[in-house]
Amino acid sequence: MRESRFVRETKETKVEIFLNLDSKGEIEIDTGIPFFDHMLKSFAKHSNLSLKLKAKGDLEVDEHHTVEDVAIALGKAINMALGDKRGIKRFGYSIVPMDDAVAICGIDISGRGYLNLEGVVLDSGIKGENFKHFFDSLCRNSGINMYLSVKGENSHHIMEAAFKAFAVAFLEARKIVGEDIPSVKGVI
Ligand SMILES: [Mn+2]
């Protein structure tokens, strides 16, 4: 079972995570930002994984630190749970529509975190700039290279389609399909 526990505490936030990539079921999310909880629950549900995530941040300042630090901690937890990545498919793709919106996501669990985001995301339950910052921080800390393209009219739909698209691509990419580390370098 690929799982991890991770706690990250600073003067701005404390984030506690339990993640299991091979068993779906337990999803408990509490970041203090209901919309962000909704996005993270969607991600966990549609990626068939168990995720318990509790974050307590300085929301009296604004949402920035909490959104960023959840992304950092979740990225590190994903990286830890993936381990040496032996046998994984490594690549995953998805196109997820949601009414007026659509998100296209392609990922490579390459060990080199990088986000390539196309599309304009306006504010919804979190700010559009923090949506982008979430995926950027997640990629850097998980070692996932992600292409994410979004468009649509409704910013709630656009963000939700993006979280679901990442979920579906990640479900595919982390599947165990072989025995080797899927790289000609022999290491990811
Ligand atoms: Mn929704």
Domain map (residue ranges) of the chain? 3-173
Q: What pLDDT shows up at residue 31?
A: 98
118 CA to centre of ligand 1 in angstroms = 21
Contacts 24+ apart (CB under 8 A), 184-188: 187/84, 187/111, 188/84, 188/85, 188/90, 188/109, 188/110, 188/111, 188/143
How high is the pLDDT of residue 112? 96
Give residue 66 CA to ligand 1 midpoint distance, Å: 20
SS3 for 41-72 is: HHHHHHCCCEEEEEEEECCCCCCHHHHHHHHH
* One CATH from 3.40.109.10, 3.90.480.20, 3.30.230.40, 3.40.50.11710 for 3-173: 3.30.230.40
Cα 160 to averaged position of ligand 1 atoms, centre (Å): 6
* Residue 73 burial (C-beta neighbours within 10 Å; 0-12, 13-18, 19+): buried
For ligand 1, the distance from its centroid to the CA atom of residue 53, given in whole angstroms, is: 19
Taking the centre of ligand 1 as the mean of its atom positions, its distance from the CA of residue 182, in whole angstroms, is 35
Q: Cα(101) to centroid of ligand 1, in Å? A: 12
pLDDT (mean) for 168-172: 98
Predicted pLDDT at 25? 77
Q: How far is the CA of 27 from the centre of ligand 1 (A)?
A: 16
Tell me the CA–centroid distance for residue 43 and ligand 1, in Å: 12
Average pLDDT over residues 144-152: 98
Give the model confidence (pLDDT) of 77-130 as tens digits: 999 999 999 999 999 999 999 999 999 999 999 999 999 999 999 999 999 999
- Express each pLDDT in 13-72 by its tens digit: 999 999 999 998 799 999 999 999 999 999 999 999 999 999 999 999 999 999 999 999
Distance 179 CA to ligand 1 centre (A): 38
Report the DSSP pairing between strands 91-98 and 101-108.
antiparallel
Collect all residues with Cβ–Cβ distance below 8 Å to 188 and sequence separation of at least 6: 84, 85, 90, 109, 110, 111, 143, 181, 182
- The reported pLDDT for the residue numbered 24 is 82
What H or E segment, with its residue span, contains residue 81? helix 64-82
The helix (H) or strand (E) run that includes residue 9 is strand 3-9
pLDDT of 123 reads 98
**C-alpha 183 – ligand 1 centre gap (Å):** 37
DSSP-assigned letter for residue 124: S
Residue count of the chain? 188
- Decide: helix, strand or coil at residue 12: coil
156 CA distance to ligand 1 centroid (A)? Answer: 6
134 alpha-carbon distance from chain centroid: 8
